[in-house]
Amino acid sequence: MLHETLLTILFQIPVALLVTQIKKEVDDDPVLLRFSEVLKLFHEFGHVVHYMCNRASHAKFSGLRLDSDFVEIPAQVLENWCYEASSMKLISGFHQDITKPLSDDVCKSLKRWRCSFSALKLKQEILYCLFDQIIHSTENVDIIGLFKHLHPKVMLGLPMLEGTNPASSFPSSAIGCEAACYSHIWSQVFAADIYASKFSDDIFNQHTGMQFRNKVLAPGGSKEPIELLSDFLGREPSVQAFVDSKAQPLNNSSSFR
């Protein structure tokens, strides 16, 4: 009894809340999520899993108290399950008949959609990263003028619309990541390497999942991120999987399952 009391005093059971905005059922008719909502749910649930699996000895290194380059990795890894037919068919349905999962054609379309305009999306992210670095390292910045200066250098020929202020629509993911927006791309690099190397051949492999839990999620911030990733991958992380994911042709469905 004394031992249990001491454990209660010394350790706190982790509690994580995932707060979402999802429509309720109307007249007993089920409300299905849009794909973008499913993707967001998987992403945020990845953070919850990371938090709950943490086994760091000190509170300073628990939860999501991590280097900014690392904190998004578990969430971005879990997003990949939204693009695999074998997982989507387990949780999907149509509003006409929720017992019917997504068809193969729809799943293929979602996978192709992920690769569409990938280079353009990446350039836009880089643009915001540069903007973020400059406004947090320079005083008295002309926000609109800065965007006009950076836009043609990064977007390469795509003009910035006159009379607009892109800074007013800065990505919500950047909030709380001042001067560290670049870390979102680095997390994508590491997440792509993890998924391609360990999960892409068998997304339901329990052994691999447990290794990911014990070697990547559990230590939290108690070890250097590069050490955790290298231990799990068996080598240093590589950018190749990230590059390959951006370069996949739209008609490539060879990895579809």
Q: Please pick, among 4, 25, 44, 125, the residue that the annotation labels catalytic.
A: 44
Nearest to 45 by CA among 217, 240, 211: 217
Domain assignments of the chain as residue spans, ordered by start: 32-257
How would residue 254 be classed by pLDDT, with cut points 50, 70 and 90? very low
Q: What is the mean pLDDT of residues 128-142?
A: 89
Helix, strand, or coil (residue 29): strand
The pLDDT value recorded for residue 68 is 81
The CATH number of 32-257 is 1.10.1370.40
The DSSP 8-state label assigned to residue 26 in this structure reads: B
Cα–chain-centroid distance for residue 250?
22
* Alpha carbon separation from 167 to 111, 144, 240 (Å, rounded): 30, 8, 31
d(CA 158, CA 145): 17
Please write the tens of the pLDDT for every residue from 23-57.
Answer: 777 777 777 888 999 999 999 999 999 988 988 88
**Could you give the CA distance from residue 125 to residue 189 in angstroms, rounded to a whole number?**
13
pTM of the model: 0.84
Residue 5 banded pLDDT, cuts 50, 70, 90: low
Active site residue 178: no
